Amino acid sequence: MTATSDHRAFNEAALTTDQGIPVADTDNSLRAGARGPSLLEDFHLREKLMRFDHERIPERVVHARGAGAHGVFKIYEPLDEYTTADFLTDPDAETPVFVRFSTVQGSRGSTDTPRDVRGFATKFYTRQGNFDLVGNNMPVFFIQDGIKFPDLVHALKPEPHHEMPQVASAHDTFWDFVTLQPETMHHLIWLMSDRALPRSYRMMQGFGVHTFRLVNGHGRSTFVKFHWTPALGTHSLVFDEAQKISGKDPDFNRRDLWEAIEAGNFPSWELGVQFIPSERAFEFDDIDLLDATKLIPEELVPVTPVGRLTLNRNPDNFFAETEQVAFSVGNIVPGIDFTDDPLLQARLFSYLDTQLTRLGGPNFAQLPINRPRVPVRNHQQDGFHQQRVPVGRANYSPNSLGTQDDGAGFTHHPELVDGPKERKRSVTFADHYSQATLFWNSMSAWEREHIVAAYRFELGKVTTMAIRVRMVEHLNRVDHDLAVAVAAGIGVEEPVKSVDNHGRASAALSQAPTSPGPVTTRKVAVLMGDGVSARWVAGLSENLAEHGVTVELLGPVDGTVDTDDGLPMEVTRAMSTVASVVYDAVVVPDGVLSLAADGLAVQFAAEAYKHGKPVAAAGTGEDVLLRAHIRLDAEDPALILGDAPAAGLLAALAVHRNFARDIAAIPA
């Protein structure tokens, strides 16, 4: 064998860089010590992320499908104790913002309601420059080190040989990857929960995911976790409903946001912060603040409310604003700083690098939606799409002929860094199961049922049995009962119990309501037909409208129906153009004798009931429920019967759904 052929044989067995250099470790970035910052000299990290960032033009690689809105942010009280950031220390300041919500997996042409993580990115146009809080609707992420991000997304996206499935994780490559990366187990159980199916962007939490720093005027650093809490409560769809909405109204979430703002129902979120003094950084069992796959339970560190975000204006042009907005975790202002989280460190490179391809060059910050609301002065010049016309002779620093730096700008927190250069994961990142168990323990009975059903559905699409078996083995380390329930649905042998459940839970992780919430902007469908009582429908509509509930009257066709007094009443739209899945409740009034024989009306009631929604009927309207196999004698607070349903409807809407129903006999 020749030297040349020996060389080729050697390289066929190993991963290499684009230059043919063998790669010893593609799972850990080069750091100064196991918990230290990532190093710029890591050529493998830079090449891997650079190649990934430039894979698609011009659509975002992830978060391609989104919706955005303008708004304002105000703090409640000055946070001078923690930070010098101007927008967090001046309660009189009203900081303009632009927020973009998004799905992660799908292309721009995909639907709004798949099982997926949702992006929640906020650009604050502060008086010290732009600060971007680029987070998700889940507080943790799949991976611990950003060098694995290309692998995660490649596995999650459609399989490359046939480009299927679109915006779905129910396929072999995704589950092959996660079962070979145990660090994904915590985020994975969030993805299998109803958190992956938000009712609307307006009813969705947001999280900064990473641990950041706030730095005060004395140079003291405090670790922080950022939380967004919606004023309308945190609510979700169910999976069957979400799938049907994808066909009935693929723009369901973006339409909901747009219409609410146009109607003056401005959505708002409270910004909360978990403050962790530096001296407490190592006091949490099994939690490293630099590990993005972990959260800090609110029982250990409460969330302190600090301000309110309100979205009050829709974009003037989708492309110019929502599509061209460029977020970056690297956009921070004085008083806020980074930590050595290796996922965050990689994002600091990746976001800026991505914009160069997606927005055509280095001057994307000059686009109106990205432009700071403060003057920009520097010596950057030229490049594609330069919009400024610089004046003067000096385009360098230092100089004596033009603008000079006064030395009063951003300074990084002077953290001591010391350690060997090595590709190594900190031993404090090694626990991959206890927080997945924490999440499972925190769920209500119906939330657990939905999680088991999600694992069964997703893994049921996996054709490689060994991958299913591996996943059950991982779940057995989360909770034995969970593993047994999932195994029973996917043809895998029941595992032998391997570990005991630690028994810890956190109430903040469950979406099961503990008290009634607001009903403003909920949508109720009233099924109409000839003979309906005009007075009854008008009274119900007025009563619900007083509480901010939107009522839509659905007729057999567009136009009008004849009421019991012989006069026509206009309907909102034809029943055939919509479905129960786009409403929060369904009402069948008295007097409409024909509806019991209308298959579409019966389906409306049956489907809403199966999805746990409030269903109301009066008089002959009850015949529709009987045809739908709904038991009228059931003890169900969300099943409202009688001539005065408004109070019961409002109470049921305030707790979102009733998932305790027996729905076995209800038609599909």
- Residues identified as active-site: 63, 136
How would you classify residue 316: left for phi > 0, otherwise alpha for psi between -120 and 50, otherwise beta? alpha
- For the four alpha carbons of 578, 239, 157 and 211, in that order, the dihedral sign comes to positive
Q: Measured at the alpha carbon of residue 225, what is the angle toward residues 223 and 231, in degrees to the nearest 5?
A: 145
3 state SS of 378: coil
Cα–Cα distance for residue pair 166/157, rounded to 1 Å: 7
3-state secondary structure of 227: strand
Asked whether the beta carbons of 223 and 211 are under 8 A apart, the reply is yes
DSSP result, 406-461: -S-S-----------EEE---GGG---SHHHHHHHHHS-HHHHHHHHHHHHHHHHT
C-alpha span between 411 and 212 (Å, rounded): 15
- Residue 523 and residue 651: Cα distance in Å, rounded? 14
Torsion of CA 479, 481, 483, 489, to 10 degrees: -160
- What is the pairing mode between strands 639-641 and 615-617? parallel
Tokens 């989360």, located at residue: 478
Judge whether 142 and 184 are in contact, CB under 8 Å: yes
Sign of the CA dihedral 414, 416, 420, 423?
negative
Closest of 573, 655, 664, 554 to residue 614, by C-alpha = 655
Residue 384: count of CB within 10 angstroms of its CB: 11
CA nearest to 153, candidates 180, 170, 182, 173: 173
- Cis amide prior to 398 (ω within 30 degrees): yes
| Structural tokens at position 404 | 């000079």
d(CA 94, CA 315): 19
Q: Cis (ω within 30 of 0) for the bond into 158? A: no
Task: For the beta carbon of residue 94, count every other beta carbon within 10 angstroms.
Answer: 12
Contacts of 20 (CB under 8 A, 6+ apart): 11
Distance CA 569, CA 541 (A): 13
> What span, in angstroms and rounded, lies between the C-alpha atoms of 329 and 122?
10
3-class state of residue 358 by DSSP: helix
